[in-house]
Amino acid sequence: MRKQKIAVILGQTATGKSDLAVKIAKKFGGEIISADSRQVYKGLNVGTGKITKQEMGGVPHHLLDVADPKKYFSVAQYQKLANRAIKDVLSRGKLPIICGGTGLYIDAAVSGKTFPEVKPDEKLRKQLNGKTTKQLFEILKKLDQRRAKEIDKDNPRRLVRAIEIARKIGKVPGSKLQVPSYNTLKIGLKLPEEKLKQKISKRLHARMKKGMAEEAHRLHARGLSWKRMEELGLEYRYLSKYLKSEITKQEMLNKLETEIRRYAKRQKTWFKRDKEIVWFDASGKGLRQETTAAVSRFLKS
């Protein structure tokens, strides 16, 4: 029996994945399944660059706004929802298009890896509570060197969670591997480093103009704690510091630009491991034509 086909559009932040995914979906009758670890949360819109209804162009999008930002959302939870969404899209004769930059979520959706549901260990969390991110990173490195190479080492929430899982099952994520259920085409978007830096800077300032700080203020007013906002990472971490007057607006923007560039480097490292990815220059004029041709060949094969 031939495997059903799905497409993946991935790459570093600010490479134009969402826009291309919509174009591909319109061309081939597809529906988009988000693979972004922060866009799953309700209310985190401007700061995460979540696609708007207008930008969707009538294309159905799945796994946006499915989690409460006050609560931790695990990769195992994502995997269950992604599997359900893929089956639903295929059952209606549509092409599932996984789109995002969270490598772990993409793996969860298409690789066949099993991600066990490890419950929070409150006792361990209390023990780790007073430790610095540097100390947490060192603990994780001893438990699972591979995961330590891939993780955001400045994100205490992810470090604690990785330690928690590593302590429970030995490594992050579980090593059990099944045969992938689908025939998958992975399209990777890349930009020259200098161009990527420029796009990151331009996009950050555009988000500030769209009300990124005001959004963070509203989230806090609705009960999202400063601590939880910091745990959510990147934009929300530094917005919380700015709104608490711990740093100036300019310091926030400078720090954020640096941290987003570092995040992009970690994404590059993650995707480099995957030899199945077919890479395209996102700055090229023929991007749409080239990627459309690749999807067309894939679906006909």
Is residue 117 very low, low, confident or very high in pLDDT (cuts 50, 70, 90)? confident
One domain for residues 34 and 180: yes
Tell me which DSSP letter residue 62 carries.
Answer: E
What would you measure as the largest C-alpha separation in the chain, in angstroms?
Answer: 60
One domain for residues 54 and 136: no
pLDDT at 152 over 50: yes
In angstroms, the CA 26 to CA 59 distance is 7
In angstroms, the CA 74 to CA 232 distance is 13
One domain for residues 84 and 135: no
Of 155, 172, 189, the residue at which a domain comes to its end is: 172
Tens digit of each residue's pLDDT (9 = 90 or more) over 209-222: 999 999 999 999 99
One domain for residues 23 and 75: yes
One domain for residues 33 and 17: yes
Radius of gyration from C-alpha coordinates of the chain? 19
Residue type, 178: Q
Supply the range of the domain harboring residue 259. Answer: 5-116+173-300
Tens digit of each residue's pLDDT (9 = 90 or more) over 232-249: 999 999 999 999 999 999
Of residues 9, 38, 10, the one with CA closest to residue 25: 9
One domain for residues 159 and 179: no
Q: Which two tokens stand for residue 138?
A: 């060192």
Q: Is 30 helix (H, G, I), strand (E, B) or coil?
A: strand
Q: What is the mean pLDDT of residues 171-181?
A: 58
**What CATH number is associated with residue 201?**
3.40.50.300
pLDDT at 205 over 60: yes
pTM of the model: 0.86
One domain for residues 131 and 275: no
Tens digit of each residue's pLDDT (9 = 90 or more) over 236-294: 999 999 999 999 999 999 999 999 999 999 999 999 999 999 999 999 889 999 999 99
pLDDT at 179: 62
One domain for residues 89 and 220: yes
Q: Which two tokens stand for residue 89?
A: 């899209």
One domain for residues 160 and 203: no
Of 172, 204, 236, the residue at which a domain comes to its end is: 172
Q: Which two tokens stand for residue 294?
A: 């690749």
Of 172, 203, 238, the residue at which a domain comes to its end is: 172
Q: Would the CA dihedral through 216, 222, 34, 106 be positive or negative?
A: positive
One domain for residues 107 and 203: yes
Number of domains in the chain: 2
One domain for residues 142 and 262: no
Tens digit of each residue's pLDDT (9 = 90 or more) over 68-89: 999 989 999 999 999 999 999 9
Is residue 161 very low, low, confident or very high in pLDDT (cuts 50, 70, 90)? confident
Residue type, 79: Q
pLDDT at 132 over 70: yes
Strand runs (DSSP E) across the chain, as ranges?
Answer: 5-11, 30-34, 61-62, 95-100, 183-190, 277-281
Q: Output the CA–CA distances (angstroms, integers) from residue 8 to 95, 97, 102, 300, in the order listed.
A: 10, 5, 12, 17
Give every CB contact of residue 123 below 8 A, 6+ residues apart in sequence.
none
Q: Which residue has the higher pLDDT, 96 or 170?
A: 96
One domain for residues 16 and 107: yes
